[in-house]
Amino acid sequence: MFSMHNFFPFDTKRQGQDRFMDMLSKALEEEKNLAVQAPTGIGKTVSALAPAVKYAAENGKTVVFLTPRHMQHRIVIETLKSIKEKNTEADIHVANIVGKRWLCRFDDVKMMSSENVSEFCKKMKESGKCIYYKKMFRKSGDISDICQSVLGDLKDDIMTSEDAKDLCEGKGLCTYEMLMLHLKEANVVIADYYHMLHPFVQKMFLSKLERDMKDIILIIDEAHNVPGRVRELLSSQLTSELMDKAIKEAEKFNFRDIYDDLKHLKKDIGSYCIKHIGKEEEKLARKEFLVKIVKNVSDDFNQFINELLIAGDIVTNERKVSYIESVGRFLTAWCGRDEGFVRIVRAKRNIDGSAGFNVCYDCLDPSMLTKDLFEKLHSVVLMSGTLTPVDMFMNVLGLDEKTTESLVLDSPFPRENRLILIKDDVTTKFTERSENQSYKIAGNIVKVMNNIPGNIGVFFPSYGMMGSIYDLMEHSTVDKEIMAERRDMTKADKKRFFDRFSSYAKKGNGAALFAVVGANFSEGVDFPGELMNGVIVVGLPLEKPDIKNQALINYYDLKFQKGWEYGYTYPAMNKVMQTAGRCIRSETDRGVIILMDKRFLWNTYKDLLPRDAQIYVSGNLSGELEEFYKI
């Protein structure tokens, strides 16, 4: 048995860490799961890794740590480096894996789907055209000397994906395949969500890992994202734009029959939309809807799919992507199971103004994948700052309460450093929206901007509402620069925007970031110290009441008798609390969170606010803010 002291790399523990680590150690011993809500500041990464790595080292297990974003790998890497530096007892070998498309030296793969990347890679290796893969092996099939040398470097160090890429490319080797070889030697693996939560990628990943499922301890960070991410990964759609690309591809490759069939298929779906749906509306569909339309162009539905996939295979011998193949894959998915999915046909307007459509096969129930997966593993750790209520996430993901423990930790930061104010004189409720409400909201925002020093964030439920309030404030007297995010920002745009906003923290009265909940800056971006001294959440970010969301509510009503909560109100409040958490990231940060909507006082929503926070109904906003910042 190893000592936990050698796996916890810091001299002191924060409030809540002992409890977290003790519960996880016990869960691992009993082969149970653990769902943890751990607010910012607990140190959840090290609290999960220390007992998990210790148990894995003692029992021949492998820890797989999943994050939703590449940049979050770095935090895990730094934590594991600290553990490895302190630990003298156990061998800790770490593999840091990102998607193949981000490591491949052929730039075009970055635009491909996972399936297309894998198919392209397979063909390049089999044909001998990938010189980087070729250099890894001798003619006999054995690993080359240079490959063996680089594997030693990967094993000895804990590298970021960028460092591993630089090392492998410097030696002329394929980074992804080198990491896959290294994977077999690792007992801790850092990976992205889709390595375990995408059915196709999961199968490949596990085949490379070469571990029995019962020997894997899975830790999922930011686990509040898992239900939505799995639904997304299990969903498929066929658009009029994809059909146009497939038709052009069929013409270019002289697939006359497929060209004619796809043209007819697109026309028939479009005609259905015009006749039964109307402009920019949607309708529930049954499996037979598309089967019947396909049978107008081909007698045998399955044979038609097979022809598309064969044609796609021919195309990918010359090109990296086949749109014909994508149509075939969608039709295959469309004929999948009914339970836990919904089929929807949407009419829409294309960018050029022409009529278009989306035919969607959307997943409602992520447990279709996660329940079976989690049951096969040794243990699963779900952790997030916003996993409220915990039992909802357990139910939605299919975790059995008999084999899953839960833990909700309070913030370790001084209570007096955070103030939550609810403004009950405004609402964004659809039935009460008016010009007067908009002016009231804008007026309240002006008061906050003029009474909180430095930078603040103002988060809206939609781009439309953000734009209308922004327009009202153009002529207001405010002390801060207003910076509004755009819907179509690239990664580079976001970085420039963030850097510019950050620079205002030390300039005069600071800046106000106008952003949308669930978009570019409400989650996964830290604003430590003086970068964001206050957050305003305008309204409730409830999903629009479309067919898909109504289907989700109905589904969870039948399954758990909690459709409205699981499909509508709870997810909205998780987004609110993720957004609110932007301004308090350390024990020295101070900040005010203003929730601008009277509905936050309804028990449905109020009961989900942090139990350890100071929460007041605001009567004199300017005075309350002035008083808080005097302390």
Q: Could you write out the three-class secondary structure of 49-114? A: HHHHHHHHHHHCCEEEEEECCHHHHHHHHHHHHHHHHHCCCCCCCEEECCCHHHHCCCHHHHHCCH
Residues 6 or more apart from 593 whose CB is under 8 A from it? 418, 419, 420, 421, 534, 535, 537, 580, 583
Whole-number pLDDT of residue 444: 93
Of 170, 188, 143, nearest in space to 51 by CA: 188
Cα three-residue angle 262-264-270, rounded to 5 degrees: 105
Alpha carbon distances (Å) from 186 to 90, 171, 180, 211, 355: 13, 22, 10, 11, 52
HEC string of 326-387 equals HHHHHHHHHCCCCCCEEEEEEEEECCCCCEEEEEEEEECCCHHHHHHHHHHCCEEEEEECCC
Residues 6 or more apart from 69 whose CB is under 8 A from it? 524
Whole-number pLDDT of residue 585: 66
Residues 6 or more apart from 70 whose CB is under 8 A from it? 98, 102, 161, 192
Whole-number pLDDT of residue 546: 92
pTM recorded for the entire structure: 0.91
The CA distance from 40 to 21, in Å, is: 16
Whole-number pLDDT of residue 629: 81
The residues of the chain scoring below 50 in pLDDT are none
Of 75, 15, 69, nearest in space to 41 by CA: 15
Whole-number pLDDT of residue 513: 94
Give, as one character, the DSSP assignment of residue 279: T
Of 157, 160, 208, 216, nearest in space to 184 by CA: 208
- Amino acid identity for residue 209 in this structure: L
- Contact predicate 325/255, CB 8 Å: no
Give me the residues paired with residue 384 across strands. 37
- Contact predicate 421/622, CB 8 Å: no
Whole-number pLDDT of residue 133: 87
- Contact predicate 459/538, CB 8 Å: yes
Q: Specify the residue for token string 């801060």.
A: 480
Whole-number pLDDT of residue 468: 94
Whole-number pLDDT of residue 109: 77
Whole-number pLDDT of residue 54: 94
Question: What digits encode the pLDDT tens for the residues 282-321?
Answer: 999 999 999 999 998 888 999 999 999 999 999 988 887 8
Preceding omega of 414 cis (within 30 degrees of 0): no
Q: Which domains does the chain have, with CATH numbers?
A: 4-232+367-408 (3.40.50.300), 236-363 (1.10.275.40), 415-630 (3.40.50.300)
Residue 189, classed as helix, strand or coil, is strand
Whole-number pLDDT of residue 292: 93
Question: What digits encode the pLDDT tens for the residues 92-110?
Answer: 899 999 888 788 888 777 7
Whole-number pLDDT of residue 86: 86
Whole-number pLDDT of residue 353: 67
